[in-house]
Structure 1
Amino acid sequence: MLVVANEDGERWWGGAVADGALMPFGPGHRRDLAWSAGRPDDPGHGPNQSAPLLLSSAGRYIWSERPFTFEVGAGELRVSGDDLVLDRAGGSLGDAFRGASARFFPPSGRAPARELFTGPQYNTWIEMPYTPTQDQVLGYARRVLDAGLPPGVLMIDDCWSPGYGTWRFDRARFPDPRGMIDRLHEQGFSVMLWLVPFVSPDSATFRDLERRGLLVRDVTGDTAIRRWWNGYSAVLDATDPDGVAWLHGELDALVADHGVDGFKFDAGDLHFYRGTNVEPVDHCEAWARAGERYPFNEFRACWKRGGRPLAQRLHDKPPSWTGDGLASLIPELVAQGLIGHAFTCPDMVGGGEIDAVTRAGAVDQEFFVRYAQIAALAPMTQFSILPDRVLDARHRAAVRAALDLRRTLLPLILDLVDHAAATGEPIVRPMAYHCFEHVNDQFLLGPDLLVAPVLHPGAAERTVLLPPGRWDADNGETFTGPATISTPVDLERIPHFRRA
């Protein structure tokens, strides 16, 4: 065990993205990274973006190539694991990140496809769950354009194929996939397809992969069948180079034959691989490594892979102002960046946890707008629910205003994307990254733009903590920090401040 005595005022970040709201960690926090990267009260399941990395506000970091367990005590940090490295890279949280990144997860020099940042992303999931068809997808794109929204990346989600693992278009649903994708390209959309590492049992694909030994096995040596959210399936072994070569062959054919631009690599969660012949974290990491071949990519689960050109989306969110909903977006976006995942995306605007969205019924229009405002100033923005279907004219105008603001800030966002590709540094940063006081409800885009979105219903003002220096507000006011100010807000305003 490594016992680290905290220096004066030293606080710690890192580990699991789902713990973002708890960072910096207080006494009593415990996380076993080998078991789950989910919520502390949900140890068997939950989202799965994590890394064997802890960073301190005093410039120290802890790393291991393997998962470890850590617990925060009164004045100390206790870490249990193999081959633990404790080192110092300077005197700040930013120094700790840069030192750990350079040594253990250096930047690749590349970013995901530019189009993932320059336009909104649109995912069919909420509008047509399990039922996408060629006509519906084309209709969805047409509704985007008719609403005056810009084209972007269109992701066709679950059930575009005849079965899991059989990665070709279901011709009953998609009679002319090449014609559909050509049409979407003409309209300005790029097209991505959803997939998972699962393989439907009793299918021709299953029989072929099992014969070739490319499926994950359980502890008895038999092919493992795993329960996941859509039923029971076998699992492609992404740690086997032959399995990855098979997958790449299937996906490359979709690119060559139909003009598909890339893929949303779903699942990968650690708990799907427990009790098998592969280490869960190794399979999760291998699944992400397989996706790096495609510049158009998306991941919701990932182990390590910091510094790589991978688009990382937060896990599916409920349509809630608190808890795992809106209140979790900023802390978890910050946490993604601090474990090396710079190319971050909030969940689908309005929430992508389909059962919770369905139970909620009518959309809370103010909630939808405030969610869109956070997403608009994140590195990537993704819609599934179409704003014009669920919002009245006033709230639609507020969403469009957020996208207009994003367009004005896009040069800055793209500069930060390029900076992240070259240096590994987060795009979304906590104030503590630059030695300022930490708060969980505002963030920095790079060092010089402070964003303080509205996070509460019916708000008429927003309290903002300004770091030292002179700051020009979006409403024309100028402030000198350090200071805590109160600034008025309306439905359309996203308070943000530029360092003068």
Structure 2
Amino acid sequence: MTISRPESGPLAGSFTELSGDELELVLEDGEGWWGGAAEDGLSMPFGTGSFARDLGSPRGHGSRDAAPSNQSGPVLVSTRGRVVWSERPFAFAFEDGLLRLSGRDVLVGRGGGSLREAFLAASRRFIPPSGRAPARELFSGPQYNTWIEHPYTPTQETVLRFARDLLESGMPPGVVLIDDSWACDYGTWRFDRARFPDPAAMIEQLHAWGCRVMLWVVPFVSPDSAAFREAEGRGLLIRDRTGETAIRRWWNGFSATLDLTDPAAVRWMTDQLDALVEETGVDGFKFDAGDVRDYRADDLTAAPAEPVDLCEAWARVGLRYPFNEFRACWRMGGQPLGQRLQDKPALWGPAGIESLVPEMLAQGMIGYPFVCPDMIGGGEIGSVGGQSAVDQEFFVRYAQIAALSPMMQFSVLPVRVLDDEHLAAVRDALAVRESVLPLILGLVDEAAKTGEPIVRPMAYHASGLDDVTDQFFLGPDLVVAPVTAQGATERIVALPPGRWRGDDGAVVEGPARVTVPCDLSRIPRFERLAEG
């Protein structure tokens, strides 16, 4: 079926049972599309070239090399105001001036005449905002993750030293995330007392220093553990198609997986987490894994579920805790969940730093406004750990992007890896963040009510700038153009119509593309001036 002129009016399109057939939409002149999966951000907006994605299956699904998940959702929105939605995952492809869709109950409609109108219509009808945001402290101060400094080796002593070193070096208090290996086994969510002899005292001390505390958890259960024997005996684990408990390889080895379609399995998990909150004073949790790749379509679960449903079920566990972080999510747009980009390598170029802004833009257009561009300097442990020395310029430019994102997260101690010049540039970035923090917090509140992205594509507020995806709007009136090129001393900034004042005080009449100097400490940005 080919549709060249969808019905007009707010999402007046119709549901179509495709049954393996394809629905084809003729692309309108200059129409660009956003949505689907955050990891495709560098390819957005879709429409000018060929691109294909199956939202129900990650690349290489079922193989050891399957791609990890980031955020995804069954929604596409266009710069001409059109919307595609389904309750279920669908496949889509752009080619030869057409958008081909294949799936169940796909709705096509029009929400207006612009990208913003399309997004707001989709948000109201399909991904309504909850009215809540994650905990304020996740935005008001930096986050400090132990992962890079102490991978797999956190102890009470090293966590306290990590936080103390940060604070004594002049970093502001924030949220401390204790990453993998604080517990004895996966699924046994109690502190390893050999490493953490008095976790309540540790958390009390961190609180006294002005920090909140989160713990890393996953939906896995170590096979050789008492927790496994209990969970298996109670039927709380996913079974494979033969009926045996499914033991799956993930990045830390082999584990069973909780069947989170079973309310008893959810309670088994949350009872442990709630006990940690009550007994130790921990504030919340980093919910890692839950990737679509970790599940199979023929898995046996308490309720019928596809891999995407199990990813969604993991995210729903986090709704219980205002201090939360997720990396993998399906169809949870509009919910009060912090969303981190997947672990990034310490690389210049599109595989690394150049992907941060496009992927955050994609997160927002799928309905996830509360975003974090991974750990500053990169969170991919193999890449970061393999460096003979930290690329200090890279670290600074990464910190500058994070400083003007909704959330910013450190995992390497800046004072340990940076010289005075580069450390000063990071502190300058923190000062810039402090100056715009009222704006960021206001946008967090707005996103909770309206669902609107905090980090927005240029096309969201300005037609004709669809191709500009290395800069962004922070709200409707601040254009941020971070530097992502190695050794750059200047960059081009695209500005929409209107009068704009740069961070250097220069006033520019738009529309314009201006070349601005960008020394190590500068984050180019322009604020819209009132008319008249």
Name the TM-score class by shorter chain: over 0.9
Give the structure 2 partner of residue 23 of structure 1: 44
- Structure 2 counterpart of 1:201, one-letter code: P
Q: What CA distance in whole angstroms lies between the structure 2 residues aligned with 1:81 and 1:135?
A: 52
**TM-score normalized with structure 1 length:** 0.98
Give the structure 2 partner of residue 276 of structure 1: 299
Preserved CA contact (<8 Å) 1:37 1:48: no
Match of residue 308, structure 1, among 315, 318, 335: 335
Deviations 1:442-489 (A, max 9, x none): 001011000001111211111100111000000010001100100111
Deviations 1:42-87 (A, max 9, x none): 9822333111111111001100011110000111100000000001
**TM-score normalized with structure 2 length:** 0.92
Question: 1:291: Cα distance to partner?
Answer: 0.6
After TM superposition, the structure 1 = structure 2 runs for residues 391-410 of structure 1, keeping only pairs within 5 Å, are 391-410=418-437
Preserved CA contact (<8 Å) 1:123 1:384: yes
1:114 aligns with 2:136: yes
Q: What CA distance in whole angstroms lies between the structure 1 residues aligned with 2:385 and 2:151?
A: 11
Question: 1:360: Cα distance to partner?
Answer: 2.2
Q: What CA distance in whole angstroms lies between the structure 1 residues aligned with 2:404 and 2:255?
A: 38
Give the structure 2 partner of residue 318 of structure 1: 345
1:61 aligns with 2:83: yes
Q: What CA distance in whole angstroms lies between the structure 2 residues aligned with 1:38 and 1:405?
A: 41
Question: 1:240: Cα distance to partner?
Answer: 1.2
**Over 2 Å off, 4+ runs:** 41-44
Match of residue 179, structure 1, among 182, 185, 201: 201
Preserved CA contact (<8 Å) 1:115 1:153: yes
Question: 1:37: Cα distance to partner?
Answer: 6.6
Match of residue 450, structure 1, among 479, 488, 495: 479
Give the structure 2 partner of residue 291 of structure 1: 318
Mean CA deviation greater in 154-163 or 28-37: 28-37
Match of residue 468, structure 1, among 497, 506, 517: 497
> Please, what is the CA RMSD of the aligned residues?
1.3
After TM superposition, the structure 1 = structure 2 runs for residues 334-483 of structure 1, keeping only pairs within 5 Å, are 334-436=361-463, 437-438=465-466, 439-483=468-512
Q: What CA distance in whole angstroms lies between the structure 2 residues aligned with 1:463 and 1:323?
A: 18
Question: 1:155: Cα distance to partner?
Answer: 0.2
1:206 aligns with 2:228: yes
Preserved CA contact (<8 Å) 1:38 1:46: no
Q: What CA distance in whole angstroms lies between the structure 2 residues aligned with 1:218 and 1:28?
A: 36
Deviations 1:230-268 (A, max 9, x none): 000000111211111111100000000000000000001
Q: What CA distance in whole angstroms lies between the structure 2 residues aligned with 1:215 and 1:125?
A: 28
- Structure 1 counterpart of 2:320, one-letter code: R
Instruction: Please give the secondary structure, in 2, of the residue aligned with 1:289.
Output: helix
Preserved CA contact (<8 Å) 1:387 1:396: yes
Percentage of identical aligned residues: 64
Q: What CA distance in whole angstroms lies between the structure 2 residues aligned with 1:435 and 1:141?
A: 42
- Structure 2 counterpart of 1:137, one-letter code: V
Structure 2 vs 1, CA of residues 42 and 326 (structure 1 numbering), >3 Å: closer, same or farther?
A: farther
Aligned length in residues = 499
Structure 2 unaligned segments of length 5 or more: list them: 1-21
Structure 1 unaligned segments of length 5 or more: list them: none
Instruction: Please give the secondary structure, in 2, of the residue aligned with 1:385.
Output: coil
1:126 aligns with 2:142: no
Give the structure 1 partner of residue 27 of structure 2: 6
Instruction: Please give the secondary structure, in 1, of the residue aligned with 2:191.
Output: coil
Q: What CA distance in whole angstroms lies between the structure 1 residues aligned with 2:245 and 2:195?
A: 31
- Structure 1 counterpart of 2:500, one-letter code: W
1:157 aligns with 2:157: no
Preserved CA contact (<8 Å) 2:81 2:117: yes
1:32 aligns with 2:54: yes
- Structure 2 counterpart of 1:35, one-letter code: S
Structure 2 vs 1, CA of residues 162 and 42 (structure 1 numbering), >3 Å: closer, same or farther?
A: closer
